[in-house]
Every structure is written in C-alpha cells, then in structure tokens.
Amino acid sequence: MQTPGPAIRTTCPYCGVGCGILATPDGAGGLAIAGDPDHPANFGRLCVKGSALGETVGMKGRLLAPQIGGREAGWDEALDLVARRLSETIAEHGPDAVAFYVSGQLLTEDYYVANKLMKGFIGSANIDTNSRLCMASSVAGHRRAFGSDTVPGLYEDLEQADCVVLVGSNLAWCHPVLFQRLAAAREARGTKVVVIDPRRTATCDIADLHLALAPGSDGVLFNLLLAEIERRGLVAATPENLVEALAAARAMGPAATGLADGALRQFLDVWCGSNRVVTVYSQGVNQSDSGTDKVNAILNCHLATGRIGRPGMGPFSVTGQPNAMGGREVGGLANMLACHLDIENGGHRAAVQDFWRAPRMAERPGLKAVDMFRAVGDGRIKALWIICTNPAVSMPEADRVARAIAGCDFVVVSDMMARTDTTRLAHVLLPATGWAEKDGTVTNSERRISRQRRSLVPAGQARDDWRIIADVAARMGWPEAFAWDSPAQVFAEHAALSGLAGRLGGAFDISAHAGITAAQYGALEPFLWPQSSRRSGGRFFGDGRFHTPSGRARMVPVVPRLPQPVGPAHPFRLNTGRVRDHWHTMTRTGLSPRLSRHLAEPFLELHPTDAARLGLAPAALAEVSSPHGRAILRVLVTDRVAPGHPFAPIHWTGETAPTGRIGALVVGLPDPLSGQPASKSTPVAIRPFGATWYGFAVSARPITPDCDYWVRAILPGGHQAELAGLGEPADWPGTARTMLGVTGEPLVVRDAGKGILRMAFVADGRLQAALFISPEPAALSRSHVIASLGASCGGDVLAGRPGAQQSEAGALVCACLGVGMNTILQGIATRKLMTVEAIGKALGAGTNCGSCKPELKALIEAAKTQARRREVDA
Ligand SMILES: Nc1nc2c(c(=O)[nH]1)N[C@H]1C(S)=C(S)[C@@H](COP(=O)(O)OP(=O)(O)OC[C@H]3O[C@@H](n4cnc5c(=O)[nH]c(N)nc54)[C@H](O)[C@@H]3O)O[C@H]1N2
Ligand SMILES: Nc1nc2c(c(=O)[nH]1)N[C@H]1C(S)=C(S)[C@@H](COP(=O)(O)OP(=O)(O)OC[C@H]3O[C@@H](n4cnc5c(=O)[nH]c(N)nc54)[C@H](O)[C@@H]3O)O[C@H]1N2
Ligand code: SF4
Ligand SMILES: [Mo]
C-alpha cells in the first residue's frame, strides 16, 4: 500500500495510440485515472479501456511468487534453475536450441535486455515476438520501399488531410482516440473519410464511402489506383522501379475486388483529387499471406505521387500494441539486430558486437513465430522462455501451439497473471510487475517515445521484466554486461547504441539521450524520434531522400495474390479481429465489470442468407471447424458481413470460454517475406451445435462450469455464465451448487411441459446465485437478473424479467456511464433524442470517453429507418 499521492504522468498500456494518463494513487492500492491534457497523443482524451484502467490494477488473479512445477519457490531458486537449464541446453544442443518469444507490450528497456541476451550472448537470433502476428508485414514493406522501418508521418497529418483512407482498420474500436481526433477534424473541415473493409464496422459511422471489397483484394485495388495515378498524370517523383511498378499496375482489372464501378470510381476520384491524402492501414492489410505486397501496393501510390512526409499526406501504419514500435527499435524481431540494424550485414554485426562486448553474436536471422513454434513442436527447440504474451491463445493453430509448448523440455513463462492458457503449460512461472508497477518507455504509432511511470508498489514478489532477464543473464556468466541498476541506465545504453546506428546511416537515432541521468529520465517529456545532434523529430521523406543505398525510394511491382479459394469441405472464409472493450486475451480487461458488459460472449457474425441456409436462428450456437480445430460460437445474424464471410472476435480463452478460442481454427500460413500469418482468412465449415439445453447463471462467487459450452464474465458484485450442453445432468441442484460455489437448497420453479427450470440460492434474504435452464437459448432479462444479485430477494428473480414497476436497461452501450441499449432506445422513441448530443445531454451516454458514439449514431439511424418504414407501410 502507499499513501494517496499526486497524479503521476504515465502512458496507457493498451493500444498504439499511446495516450498520456494521469494516475492518482488512492492510498488503498487503487488508482484514479484521467487523460493527460498535456500529452500530444491524446490531449486529455481517453477511450473506455483507458478510462477503466483503475478497475484492472487490483490483486485479483495476480501471480505473486515464482513457481517451479506448480509449487511456490524463492526467486534465487527459480532464477538459478532457469539460468542452469538454458546454459545446459546451449552446451548440449547449441544456441539455436533455445528461444525467447516476447511481446510488443514489453517496455523498451525490457525488450532491449532480452534482445541483447539472445543475439549477443546466447548467440542465436531465436527471439521473436507477437509483433510478428501484428506489424511484420509493415516492417518488411517499409524496408523494401524506404530502406528502413520508418513511419513517415505524424498523427496531426490525419487532422490536416483532405482525405483519410482507412484500409483494414477498425479505428473506431482499435485506435479510439485517434478516431476521435479524425472525427473532430472531419466535423471541423469536412475531411473525406473512406473505409476499405469487407465488413461494415463502427468506423464506417464517419465514412463518406465504404468499400466492402472482396477479402484479400487490397493489392488489386491499390494497383488500380496506381494505374489511375499514371493515367491522370499525377506521377510526380522518380522512385526506383517506377516503370516496372506502373506496368504491373496497368495489367490489373477490377473484377477481383468485387466492387461496383461507381464505388470504385468514387474512391479513385477522391484519392487522386486530394493532394493531402493519408492512407492508414492495419491488420486487414498486414495479416495476410501476401501482406508485404499489399503494404507496398499502398506505399507505391504515395511514392509515385510524392504524397509522403509532408503535412496532411502519407501512408500510415497504425501499430497495435503500446510498444510495437519500441520492439522494432531494439531489434526484437528475429530478422533484425538492434536499433534497426541489419543482422545479415557483417559491418552492423561487428559494430554491435564491439559495443556490447558480446562473446557470441548471432550471425543469421532466427526463427519467426510460426516456424519457432513448429520447431518447439518437433523438438529442435528444447528450452523456451515466453514473456508477456499468451501464444496458446493468440497464435494461429493455437491447439497445435499449446501441444508444442506442453511437450517442450523446459518452458519458462513470465506473466503478471497466475492463470492463463500459457502459464498453465510452464515448468517455471516468473511473476512480472504490471503496468502500474513498472518504469520505462514505450513508442507509439507516430514514433513518440513516452515514459511509463510506476504509480503502485509491485504485487507480491513481482519483479520488472528487464531485471528478471538481466538476473538470468548474470547467472549464465555475463554479470558485467547486464549490470544495470535501473531502467534509466538501460535506456541510456540503448540510446548510445542508437547513436552508433545513426552513424552507420540508420534513421533511429536517439543519441541525444545517451548520457541521460536518473533525474532526467524521471522528468523525460514525450518526444518524437529521431533525437540526435543531427536532427530532431519531424516527418521523414518529404525531401525526397530515403534510406536506400541510392537515396531514392523503391517502388515494388506488385502482382497481387488472392487468398486460396474456399472448397466444399470448408466453404466459409472466417475473418477475425477485435471488439471495442476487450484487449486480446482479456487477462486485464476481463477484470473490469464495465468492460465485460459491452459484449460478454464470443460470437460469430453471420449474414442472414448464410444463417437461413444453415438453419441458424439469431442467438443459436454454431459449431465452426477448420482442419486445425473447432469452436462453438453464438450466432449474431447481421448484414454487416457479406455472405460467405463470417467474422469472429479473438478475445476468449480457456479461462473465459474454452470453445471460443478462435486461434484454434486459424491456419498458420505466413507471408513468405514478413513471416506474418494470414489471421483474417481461414476456410471453415459451420453447422448448428445441437445443444439439448441452454442456461444462464449468476453467482456472487466464481463460477466453474463443467459442460459442453460455457462462457464466463465478471459482474460488479459477482460473476455470470452462459451455458449449454448435449446431455442434462441427473441432479441439477447438486450441479448448480458445485458450479456456482454455493450451499443449501435452492428455490425452484419448474415448467416440465416447456422444459424450463429456474433456481435461486438465497441466503439472509439476499440472492447468492441463480440458474436458468431451458431447451431454447435462454430468453430472459440478463440485466434484471444481474441487478438482482446480492439484492434482497423473495424469489421474484425467478420470473427472469423485471416487474411492472422496473424498467429494463438492456445490453450496455455506454460502458463509462452504464447506459443500456433499452434506455437509449426508449429515449429515442419517447423523448425524441435524435442526435448523439441530445442523448448525451439527457442520458449521459457518450459524454465521457466517447467510444460508444458510433453505436449511439447507429441506434438513431435504425430508429429513423424504422420510422420511415412505418410511414411507407401506413
Ligand atoms: N479494443 C481493442 N483495441 C485494440 C486491440 C484490442 O485487442 N482491443 N488490439 C490492438 C492491436 S495489438 C492491434 S494489432 C490493433 C488492430 O487494429 P485493427 O487492424 O483495426 O483491428 P482488427 O479488428 O484486427 O482488423 C481490422 C479490420 O480488418 C478487416 N479485414 C479483414 N480482412 C480484410 C481484407 O482482406 N481487406 C481489408 N481491407 N480489411 C480486412 C476486418 O474486417 C477488421 O474490421 O488493435 C489494437 N487496439
Ligand atoms: N485470429 C487472430 N489471431 C490474432 C490476431 C487476430 O487479429 N486474429 N491478432 C494478433 C495480434 S495483432 C496480436 S498483437 C496478438 C496478441 O496476443 P497476445 O500477446 O498473446 O495477447 P495478450 O492478451 O495481450 O497477452 C499479453 C500477456 O502478457 C501479460 N502481461 C501484461 N503485462 C505484462 C508485463 O508487464 N510483463 C509480463 N511479463 N507480462 C505481462 C498478460 O497478462 C497476458 O497474459 O494476437 C494475435 N492473434
Ligand atoms: S486509445 Fe484507448 S486504449 Fe489506446 S492508448 Fe488511448 S486510452 Fe489507451
Ligand atoms: Mo497487434
């Protein structure tokens, strides 16, 4: 515990926007969270995930002490064991028999230390990161086009542009504060916004044009654009390969995009007609087996027109994780060295070896994520250290990856949480400090480096990742090279090395900070890289000078490859991605009741014609299978997706919904250049899941279901679960007691004719737990049941819906102010709240973080459409 303190300036640990946060310790282990008005990424704004950070910093679920083989151990014993087993493995099988799998959520200092240990001291490059699943195609595309992995522009370009094109990016949900900045700019100056996504997402709310192109056809689309650029005489630069790239583009026909001529024409007109155009792209582009070519197809258009590196124009790869960029800077990918230096360049290797005084430098690239886990599976890798990532869920072919980890001779996992799908498989578990407990730096999507600052004391015996790695390195025989006392010293070393890289011609140079003191590090303001004696911040490439040997940009002739066609056994193409209020495998956002209420269950967005053909009603369960695994998902029938192209979110795990693990379905098919797997395009089969019963449960105590389908989520005063099964238990009350963690006899309502069974466990007149079973998907007011939990109860909860006096709030739309869908619909219907502002004024919804504004607008639009239909009918 600590005393209440002044606000500490730190950075959000979620997305790559990198918002500044004011975290104020409340003295009881908690934090009050506010946006930092002075941070140049967000100027005080936060999205719902950032706003809810205070709900996720408690002790619940934390890994508090090292564990060996499931028993608690001391730090010395655990670190000795890890160092000994790594050293033995290297001695017996060579350095390539060990691997580190790390994360874009590590701080730069953690990342630097891990990379130094593997590439300079162990002497292998078998360190790869979840950024391989995320940014690798952008990195490879940047390096081909620019000669370096450099993001040319700045966030303010989105505000200064006349046209912003979002390709494979659901900015509204995934980079919400950047979305808000764009939406505000659009209000102010009429920015044209184009969304290119096979799915109609919340981002389309501000789109002047939505191109629902055929999945995977982005390369074709941007080649068509390049050909149009030439036709209109807009070629304004002379990059390498210009002639060849234009020839490849001219060969293109529009058919593969599936777009109507009119829509395509509008896109070409607005892109070509806007000198100030920013093309933002994300996972719809990167996560493809031809992702690198798609990135270059986009970059080509900006290079040919010279629309790059000047105010309001340029290509913009928005990064997902808070420190995806920092990881690239330290060389955390298996095919990079450090500070953007090249592992295959002898001169670069010698310089880094000399700087590190390294005994044994890696001389060739290591295994990239998909191949790394294959090597774990077939025994080539015998010791694996996983840090700050949950590959047993998030890797493609996740079941196979989990089996590989389980079969590996020696597995170490460093995490802040005790129970994840990956920690379950470890021989040694090392407790890491979490976001609020650690000090360091992160780099956001616009190259801005910000401090993350400790605001709470570490949980239990948790230690910082950089220190854990350095302590292992020291025990492996290299104490001098890993002898830092603080992250400030690590940062200083990293900054000094970047100076050396800068002298070798690299763009990433922050050597102005090479001599940084602890006090200066403490006070470090957010800054854009580079920062050296030669230059400071700003945009890149506006002067036409690139980091290639010739100094010219390189266009890449792109011959687009479309995704493999689906076949009769697996006739649907599964798209995957994110929801608004959860972060990846939910180890942190899953702790927040309000974040868990926007979407509390995994789902499959399925087009109405597909649903009808498959005999799947709304809210039915579907079994989805691929050659790699299976999942059971709640069907959400919607025309937001195209026929044949269902979508499922990625967040659920063995801890929250064992049959909702989407990674289990996804094929591990990497791009040949970047190694990034195609996570958005898996052929699957779908059929109804024939449950004989469905259920919904709430309990004040943790729920531990044991049935064919279950999903659990946290509530303000307890827990909830959706359930379904193929065969009913013989003794429902006994099953309920075990599952809901309660004792005693329940109140029971049974309608044998309809097959309905309802049970309430009441103690001291208050509802402790309830279970609702029916032969159809349980139709009851979940928000009423949830609100009844812990409240005084005379059994009326068993009606499953509120009485006449109470109203039903419905699914939570505004998570910040707790405003439900029904409340909003009622407001629209009875109080004529026909604008987002009116709803905000009357109900509060949308007035805090604003993340739900697209949904509010959609509800208003839906009401208007309904009203129009009624007029027509009348
Ligand atoms: N709420 C929330 N925000 C997050 C995260 C989170 O877990 N939750 N994670 C962060 C991370 S690490 C990342 S990488 C980012 C990801 O941010 P985004 O890339 O914006 O998010 P995704 O939902 O993965 O995918 C974006 C879109 O790509 C579309 N898509 C699929 N196939 C294609 C295609 O062939 N062409 C095109 N043009 N589009 C296609 C999908 O329909 C989807 O809407 O989000 C970051 N922000
Ligand atoms: N099908 C499909 N699969 C995907 C994607 C997709 O779009 N579709 N997206 C991919 C992308 S872009 C990404 S980025 C990945 C993300 O996938 P993961 O990286 O596997 O997901 P996270 O849940 O963020 O895992 C982070 C882990 O680190 C722990 N942790 C948090 N902070 C710390 C810390 O400071 N130190 C340590 N040691 N541990 C910490 C958390 O508890 C958690 O267990 O998923 C990828 N997988
Ligand atoms: S947009 Fe939201 S999740 Fe992303 S950094 Fe800002 S507050 Fe955090
Ligand atoms: Mo990511």
Same domain, 80 and 214: no
pLDDT band at 757; cut points 50, 70, 90: very high
| Ligand 2: residue whose CA is nearest its atom 3 | 394
Q: Is position 547 within any domain?
A: no
pLDDT band at 853; cut points 50, 70, 90: confident
- Determine the Cα–Cα distance for residues 144 and 440; give it in Å rounded to an integer: 31
- Note the pLDDT of residue 803: 66
| Ligand 2: residue whose CA is nearest its atom 32 | 434
Q: What is the mean pLDDT of residues 670-689?
A: 97
Span from the CA of 390 to the centroid of ligand 2 (angstroms): 5
Number of Cβ within a 10 Å radius of residue 690: 11
CA-based torsion, 679, 680, 684, 689: positive or negative: positive
Q: What is the mean pLDDT of residues 423-439?
A: 98
Same domain, 352 and 483: yes
Beta bridge partners of 725: 693
pLDDT band at 537; cut points 50, 70, 90: very high
CA 502 to chain centre: 31
Q: Into how many domains does the chain fold?
A: 6
Same domain, 710 and 851: no
The residues, any chain, with a CB within 8 Å of residue 604's CB and separated by 6 or more, are 622, 624, 633, 634, 635, 636, 646, 647, 648, 686
- Note the pLDDT of residue 1: 47
DSSP secondary structure code for residue 310 in this structure: B
Q: What is the mean pLDDT of residues 483-508?
A: 95
Whether 138 is in the pocket of ligand 2, judged by its Cβ within 6 Å, is no
* Boundary of a domain, candidates 688, 712, 731: 688
- Note the pLDDT of residue 721: 97
Written as one string, the DSSP assignment of 75-129 is HHHHHHHHHHHHHHHHHHH-GGGEEEEE-TTS-HHHHHHHHHIIIIII----EEE
Same domain, 683 and 699: no
Which atom of ligand 1 has the smallest separation from the CA of 578?
23
- Note the pLDDT of residue 828: 87
- Note the pLDDT of residue 493: 98
Span from the CA of 176 to the centroid of ligand 3 (angstroms): 7
Q: What is the mean pLDDT of residues 266-291?
A: 98
Query: Range with the lowest mean pLDDT among 176-180, 683-687, 827-831?
Result: 827-831
| Ligand 3: residue whose CA is nearest its atom 4 | 15
Same domain, 294 and 327: no
Asked if residue 100 has pLDDT above 80, the reply is: yes
Span from the CA of 94 to the centroid of ligand 1 (angstroms): 39
Whether 412 is in the pocket of ligand 2, judged by its Cβ within 6 Å, is no
Same domain, 304 and 435: no
Q: What is the mean pLDDT of residues 194-200?
A: 98
Asked if residue 416 has pLDDT above 90, the reply is: yes
Whether 390 is in the pocket of ligand 2, judged by its Cβ within 6 Å, is yes
648, amino acid identity: A
Query: Range with the lowest mean pLDDT among 118-132, 318-332, 653-667, 835-849?
Result: 835-849
Asked if residue 806 has pLDDT above 90, the reply is: no
Q: What is the mean pLDDT of residues 364-388?
A: 98
Q: Do β-strands 603-606 and 629-637 pair in parallel, antiparallel, or remain unpaired?
A: parallel
Asked if residue 804 has pLDDT above 60, the reply is: no
* Boundary of a domain, candidates 775, 799, 823: 799
Owner of token pair 């009350």: 733
* Boundary of a domain, candidates 631, 664, 688: 688
Same domain, 204 and 282: yes
Q: Output the domain CATH number for residue 180.
A: 3.40.228.10
- Determine the Cα–Cα distance for residues 450 and 441; give it in Å rounded to an integer: 6
Written as one string, the DSSP assignment of 528-593 is ESPBSSS-BSS-SSTTS--SSTTSS-B-------PPPPPBTTB-EEEEEE--SS--TT-TTGGG-T
Q: Output the domain CATH number for residue 515.
A: 3.40.50.740
Span from the CA of 11 to the centroid of ligand 3 (angstroms): 9
Same domain, 443 and 524: yes
Q: What's the pLDDT tens digit per position in 225-278?
A: 999 999 999 999 999 999 999 999 999 999 999 999 999 999 999 999 999 999
Q: Output the domain CATH number for residue 35.
A: 3.30.200.210
Q: Is position 1 within any domain?
A: no
Site to substitute for ligand 2 among 10, 197, 394, most atoms within 8 A of C-beta: 394
| Short-list 323, 329, 363, CA closest to 494 | 329
Q: Is position 540 within any domain?
A: no
Taking all residues of the chain, what is their mean pLDDT, rounded to a whole number? Answer: 94
The residues, any chain, with a CB within 8 Å of residue 462's CB and separated by 6 or more, are 62, 63, 64, 416, 431, 432, 433, 434, 437
Q: Is position 442 within any domain?
A: yes
- Note the pLDDT of residue 808: 59
Same domain, 14 and 86: no
| Short-list 271, 285, 268, 256, CA closest to 678 | 285
Nearest ligand to the C-alpha atom of residue 10: 3
Do the beta carbons of residue 492 and residue 515 sit within 8 Å? Answer: yes
Q: Is position 584 within any domain?
A: yes
Q: What is the mean pLDDT of residues 790-815?
A: 71
φ and ψ of 25, to 5 deg: -60, 135
Asked if residue 389 has pLDDT above 80, the reply is: yes
Asked if residue 793 has pLDDT above 80, the reply is: no
Same domain, 459 and 341: yes
Q: What's the pLDDT tens digit per position in 224-238?
A: 999 999 999 999 999
**Which one is predicted more confidently, 600 or 223?**
223
Same domain, 173 and 268: yes
- Note the pLDDT of residue 483: 97
- Note the pLDDT of residue 23: 98
Span from the CA of 699 to the centroid of ligand 1 (angstroms): 34
- What percent of the chain shows pLDDT beyond 90? 85
Nearest ligand to the C-alpha atom of residue 667: 2
- Note the pLDDT of residue 780: 80
Asked if residue 52 has pLDDT above 70, the reply is: yes
560, amino acid identity: P
Q: Is position 366 within any domain?
A: yes
Stated pTM of the model: 0.95
- Give the domain extent around 827: 812-873
Asked if residue 866 has pLDDT above 80, the reply is: no
Same domain, 605 and 735: no
Site to substitute for ligand 2 among 288, 390, 454, 591, most atoms within 8 A of C-beta: 390
Site to substitute for ligand 2 among 103, 129, 169, most atoms within 8 A of C-beta: 103
DSSP secondary structure code for residue 746 in this structure: P
| Ligand 2: residue whose CA is nearest its atom 19 | 389
- Note the pLDDT of residue 779: 76
- Note the pLDDT of residue 3: 62
Q: What's the pLDDT tens digit per position in 105-147?
A: 999 999 999 999 999 999 999 999 999 999 999 999 999 999 9
pLDDT band at 790; cut points 50, 70, 90: confident
Q: Output the domain CATH number for residue 669.
A: 2.40.40.20
- Determine the Cα–Cα distance for residues 212 and 647; give it in Å rounded to an integer: 14
Q: Is position 202 within any domain?
A: yes
Q: What's the pLDDT tens digit per position in 817-849?
A: 778 777 888 888 888 999 999 998 988 888 888
Q: Is position 566 within any domain?
A: no
Ligand 1: residues within 6 Å at CB? 15, 134, 167-170, 173-174, 196-199, 201, 215-216, 218, 282-284, 320-321, 575, 577-578, 580, 582-584, 680
Q: What's the pLDDT tens digit per position in 21-36?
A: 999 999 888 999 999 9
